[in-house]
Amino acid sequence: MEQIKRVALVTGAASGIGKAIAERLNSNGVQVVGADVDEAIEELAKEAGLSGVVCDLSQREECRRLADEVISRHQRIDILINNAGFQHVASIDSFPEDTWDQMLAVLLTAPFLLTRYLWPAMKKQGFGRIINIGSIHSLVASPFKCGYVAAKHGLLGLTRVAALEGGESGITVNAICPAYVQTPLVDRQIEDQSRALGIPPEQVISTVMLQPAAIKRLIHPDEIAGLVSYLCSDAAGSITGAAWTVDLGWTSR
């Protein structure tokens, strides 16, 4: 019997964690569709032998279009990686309301919508792997991150509910909760905090980002991709509803 070729959708796949995950799954023989608001996704995907879709996940109709396009192209979906990111740092009294709306749309509403739209196909085939890329801020809080922390806490809640509902249909749902990963998004955050605090970038990393950590370095995207690869495998079929901390020992305190 010919082995079924799995199909995966990875959001935020143009760079950073999403790019590393897309490349790892592709190397595992998975047919990968990478989605990103950055138009560079089409060229990057072509270079890596993937499919690329330009998509603004802050828009509900774009989430619907993306889900429909994946099913139309491949007639199935096995793996959904909700990874697309959004960062904004501000105190509660200065946090822009429209930025709050956009942040929750990308980080929480889009994962819900994609899960909802792709759920029937996974349920019908009796197999699914959904992995939500949360954050250490799915579990703890930091000042000046009200929108991000709220969205990532919500994403963990969504993960747990979906895990409970999907178990009987062979769908597992897990969250990966990393501390700071070396990505373009984090690089920009380092630059922003360096300017705001009036300290060098390397001091932002050591005294702000890594102060609570036992391992004093940023995480590499490939480390997250390796964990995703395992959670998508048959060997992880009994693991669901879990928050996998990749946090350099942050929450050991």
Cα(83)–Cα(134) distance, rounded to whole angstroms? Answer: 8
Q: Tokens at residue 245, please?
A: 């901390």
Distance spanning both ends of the chain, measured CA to CA: 51
148 is catalytic: yes
Active-site choice (117, 148, 180, 230): 148
Residue whose C-alpha is closest to residue 107's, from 64, 65, 157, 69? 157
* H helix runs in 75-217, sequence order: 97-104, 110-125, 146-166, 184-197, 201-203
Question: Strand 128-133's sheet: what is its strand order?
Answer: 51-54, 31-36, 7-11, 79-82, 128-133, 171-178, 243-246
Residues marked as catalytic: 148
